[in-house]
Amino acid sequence: MQTDRPTMNRFILDVSPVAEVEGLCEVRVEGGRNVAQRCATITGRQRTTTTQEGAAGMIQTGEFRGFEVSTEDPGILVITFNRPDRLNGMDAPMKRDLLETLTQAAMEDSVRVVLFAGSGRAFSAGDDISGQDKGRRGEALVPDIHRGHDNVLGTINGLRKISQPINTAIRGMDKLTIAAMNGVAVQTGFSLALSCDFRIASSAARMGSGTLRFGLLPDEGGHYLLLQMMGLPKTMDFLMRSRLVGAAEAHDLGLVHEVVEPDELMPRAMDLARELANGPQVAMRLLKRSLYNAADQTWEQSLEDIAARTPMADHHPDSREGVAAFREKRKPAFNAWLEE
């Protein structure tokens, strides 16, 4: 892998603030922040994962605690939640590994698109409070840490240091993200999907945030994301009434971009991922940030924001390639800088 190519993250990455299903609902106490350590062995077992150079650069792929990581050309990172026996419910170890994978993806220029998918009948049914390891396979990507105490401080630490940073990392990532929602997506799973730039749902999918059924809050950021997408009246109705909706209604509400038949979900998601990955990455990453910023800006502020980013796109080789391709009446070949 070349080490002297441009590192676009330095000036594009701009992190913005941002069940009632088989016994799965929200959990609160997950301890302090993990510290990523590249270890040859964890808990005495040999690591079976690999650091793969290719479609997505130097990214650790394989099966981790609760999910699998794989790559597809060109630069597509696929994260598949893999606890089907628990409807892909997330516990603290799974969240720590997932956050580390997202950190790697954000730092690796050659990752162009991150695609989230679920195995079995669910995308993710939220946080798993069973306290069991059932259905969790794979090696640890980062070491376990002390969870903290089951009290107010422990709850706040768990949210701020593990749960909320996952959605913040997805939303703040300069790469484009896709959620392929195959089935149940509630609580944390729903918030994670809402954090993505694109959402494609199977016609069999159900989604919502039923936290009030347990006297809990949608505290991973789902309330903010729903408010951005639907406005206050609809969000108030959706959350206060603990609504779970099917894919068609979710599309009508503007929560998903497309609804497809179950057997078409992954092919369609991969088609979209390839389309996005083949676009001019620098301009697309800059535009993504300007769009998210504009949601909280005045007209004048939004113009200043995109004006500040425009020179980076205008003077990049991708723009010269785009203009040349137009003049020569051919399809542009963007992203040569990622393939050097």
Q: How far apart are CA 116 and CA 173, in angstroms?
A: 14
CA separation (Å) from 226 to 79, 127, 232? 23, 19, 9
Pairing of strands 176-181, 67-72: unpaired
Q: In angstroms, how far is the first alpha carbon of the chain from the final one?
A: 9
Q: Which of 115, 105, 65 is nearest to 89 (CA)?
A: 65
User: Tokens 């909706």 correspond to what residue?
Assistant: 245
Asked if 155 contacts 176 with a C-beta cutoff of 8 angstroms, the reply is no
CA separation (Å) from 168 to 103, 181, 194, 227? 11, 19, 11, 16
Pairing of strands 76-81, 67-72: antiparallel
One-letter identity of residue 130: S
Asked if 98 contacts 166 with a C-beta cutoff of 8 angstroms, the reply is yes
Write down the pLDDT at residue 217. 82
Q: Which of 90, 85, 89, 81 is nearest to 119 (CA)?
A: 81
For the stretch 99-132, pLDDT in tens is 999 999 999 988 999 999 999 999 999 888 665 5
- Which domains, and CATH codes, for the chain? 15-277 (3.90.226.10), 281-339 (1.10.12.10)
Write down the pLDDT at residue 37. 31
Beta bridge partners of 124: 185
Write down the pLDDT at residue 39. 28
Q: How far apart are CA 303 and CA 309, in angstroms?
A: 10
CA separation (Å) from 260 to 14, 179, 199, 208, 218? 33, 13, 11, 19, 27
Write down the pLDDT at residue 33. 31
Residues in the chain with pLDDT < 50?
A: 1-49, 52, 54, 56, 135-136
Name the DSSP letter for residue 21.
B
CA separation (Å) from 221 to 69, 142, 182, 235, 333? 24, 24, 22, 13, 38
Beta bridge partners of 52: 59
Helix (H) or strand (E) holding 60: strand 59-64
Dihedrals φ, ψ of 231, to 5°? 85, 170
User: Tokens 């940030």 correspond to what residue?
Assistant: 289
CA separation (Å) from 113 to 79, 123, 301? 11, 18, 28
One-letter identity of residue 127: D
